[in-house]
Amino acid sequence: MSQNSDEIFKKVISHSKEYGFVFQSSEIYDGLSSVYDYGPNGSLLKNNLKNFWWRSMVQLNENIVGIDSAIFMHPNVWKASGHIQAFSDPLIDNKDSKKRYRADVLVEDFTEKLFQKAEKEIKKAAARFGDSFDSKLYRKTNSRVLEYESKAKSIMKRFSKALKNDNLKEARQVIIDEKIKCPISGSTNWTEIRHFNLMFGTKIGSVADGANDLFLRPETAQGIFTNFLNVVKTSRLKVPFGIAQIGKAFRNEIVARQFIFRMREFEQMEMQFFVKPGDEKKWFEYWKKSRMDWHKSLGFKTQNYRYHDHEKLAHYANAASDIEYKFPFGFKELEGIHSRTDFDLKQHSKESGKKLQIFDPEINDNFTPSVIETSIGLDRMFLSVMSECLDNEILEDNTSRVVLRLPYSLAPNQAAILPLLKKDGLPEYASKIYDNLKFDFQLVFDEKDAIGKRYRRQDAIGTPLGITIDHQTLNDNTVTIRDRDSMQQKRVNSDDLNKIIRSATSIEALLKKR
Ligand code: ATP
């Protein structure tokens, strides 16, 4: 049965809660808006995603090192980086519904609908023409498709230009001219657009002592720039090289919706890659491709990923492209790849008075490297993985099962240990197996309910292997091992379990795919 995207998204949210992946923060106090906690299965999955990213970056690249910098930073960092001045969203209110929106998101959603209309035309034609249909040619030549696409592009261009020139009147005019409606009231009765800074302020020290105003970092990148000299000196790195880190970031998102897609406290996995000035174009292309390959190595549907090259650039960038994923609510940014030029290092040099440069023996002089950044939101990746993997499979006997088809090496638990009955010494034997394997694997031990029900429970949290201990085990030390996806069972000697689980679930196979 096909479901609409709204239903799919609701299922992802309710499944995340029901099976201990994601909870609303402070739920017993009615929750804190756009802040979420990860439960027992969610935190395991999140750690596996982090591990996959960290090892892909730091372990597999001899010229990338990792750091872990503090969330609190000197207030001048944000002056130098331009965040105090320019890290804001353009907000607009609808006077009828009294709802507040990000003007850029309103326009993006509007143009996305035009692109979707074009896609619908192509799908309709494909159904009409059958096998002989050439979708590339149709996209290039059909007048309706061309019209939708060119309209969407020209709206985005006009709007981006207005924002780039900080011309908020013209940006608003785009919304008026295109008759973009408030999704709640359906009206086009809009206020002016205003800027709103996204950084959370806080204070250090007691107020009486002359407290210092601080900000919670809105991105992890600045901790990399401020440690640039420390890392260069202690790691003996030569350009090109990268510094990676995973950490929390905070943004006072006004229009924070869509579950863990847009949060006020979230986690980023960022890597800044330092290159010789002039080489940035080459390395920008390199990382753009490399990051897309990384996403695709997960084996998800390739049509769910696409690039979106930016017209409107952040204040520090000279090129930017997003890797977008098709979330249940449409294609949205999952990761950003930015060519940040030498902006940050130069700004910090100016503000701190320290020379953030490298010596180049070839030219016998110091230079400021240019930077390519790759920045992915861990929580957004988590959401993409949940959306992609949650499946309601119809079985041959017309019953169905909910299965979370996580890549085996990312699942919260690698295997479930299941004594068939809660008697006859089976739980004790199963415990021994559990104790033998627990040093190498994250396991679940489950002895409650009928075995079929327990298999379903493990399917729903994505556990790749179910290991059942029955009466035969007591005689010959063999167990049944059930594979999540095929549901096939086979009998194996329990002495071989370590090898079998490792070969099915190790992350090495995933890392080698790239
Ligand atoms: P958006 O346009 O969606 O607000 P952005 O362009 O501001 O995102 P970046 O500043 O490039 O995002 O941040 C890098 C990555 O951090 C994003 O690709 C996204 O995955 C993640 N991210 C940014 N803001 C949030 C948020 N509020 N909640 C969760 N993840 C976020």
Reported as a single tens digit per residue, the pLDDT across 310-323 is 877 777 788 999 99
Q: How far, in Å, from the CA of 221 to the mean position of ligand 1?
A: 13
Q: Are 283 and 276 in contact (CB under 8 A)?
A: no
Q: Are 99 and 166 in contact (CB under 8 A)?
A: no
d(CA 385, CA 300): 9
pLDDT above 70 (res 47): yes
d(CA 388, CA 177): 37
Read off the pLDDT of residues 14-31 as tens digits, 9 standing for 90 and up: 999 999 999 999 999 999
Q: How far, in Å, from the CA of 167 to the mean position of ligand 1?
A: 24
Q: With residue 379 as reference, give the H or E element that holds it.
A: helix 378-389
Q: How far, in Å, from the CA of 266 to the mean position of ligand 1?
A: 9
Pocket test for ligand 1, best of 375, 381, 382 (most atoms within 8 A of CB): 375
Q: Are 15 and 328 in contact (CB under 8 A)?
A: no
**What DSSP string describes 219-257?**
-SHHHHHHTHHHHHHHHT--SSEEEEEEEEEE---SS--
- Residue 367 forms beta bridges with which residues? 358
pLDDT above 90 (res 6): no
Which pLDDT score is estimated for 88? 86
Q: Can you give the pTM of this predicted structure?
A: 0.87
Residues with CB under 6 A from ligand 1: 219, 251, 253, 262-263, 266, 268, 333-336, 375-377, 379-380
Pocket test for ligand 1, best of 380, 381, 385 (most atoms within 8 A of CB): 380
- Ligand 1 closest atom vs CA 264: 27
Confidence of residue 208 (pLDDT cuts 50, 70, 90): low
Mean pLDDT of the chain: 94
Read off the pLDDT of residues 236-251 as tens digits, 9 standing for 90 and up: 889 999 999 999 999 9
Q: How far, in Å, from the CA of 382 to the mean position of ligand 1?
A: 13
Q: Considering Cα of 199, then 203, then 204, then 210, what sign does the dihedral take?
A: positive
% of residues, the chain, pLDDT over 70: 98
* Average pLDDT score over residue span 47-53: 98
d(CA 299, CA 125): 29
Q: Which of 40-54, 125-139, 471-485 comes out lowest in average pLDDT?
A: 125-139
Longest dimension (CA), the chain: 81
Read off the pLDDT of residues 416-450 as tens digits, 9 standing for 90 and up: 999 999 999 999 999 999 999 999 999 999 999 99
- Ligand 1 closest atom vs CA 333: 18
d(CA 152, CA 138): 18
**Residue environment code for 339-357, b if the CB has 16+ CB neighbours within 10 A, otherwise e:** bbbbbbbebbbeeeeeebb
Minimal-distance CA residue to ligand 1 atom 19: 377
DSSP-derived 3-state class of residue 405: coil
% of residues, the chain, pLDDT over 90: 84
DSSP-derived 3-state class of residue 489: strand
Which pLDDT score is estimated for 456? 96
Which pLDDT score is estimated for 211? 66
Residue 102 identity (one-letter amino acid): R
pLDDT above 60 (res 2): no
Q: Quickly tell me which residue has 């890659």 as its tokens.
A: 273
For residue 240, is the peptide bond before it cis, meaning its omega torsion is within 30 degrees of 0?
A: yes
Q: How far, in Å, from the CA of 265 to the mean position of ligand 1?
A: 11
Determine the straight-line distance between the first and last CA of the chain, rounded to whole angstroms. 34
Minimal-distance CA residue to ligand 1 atom 25: 262
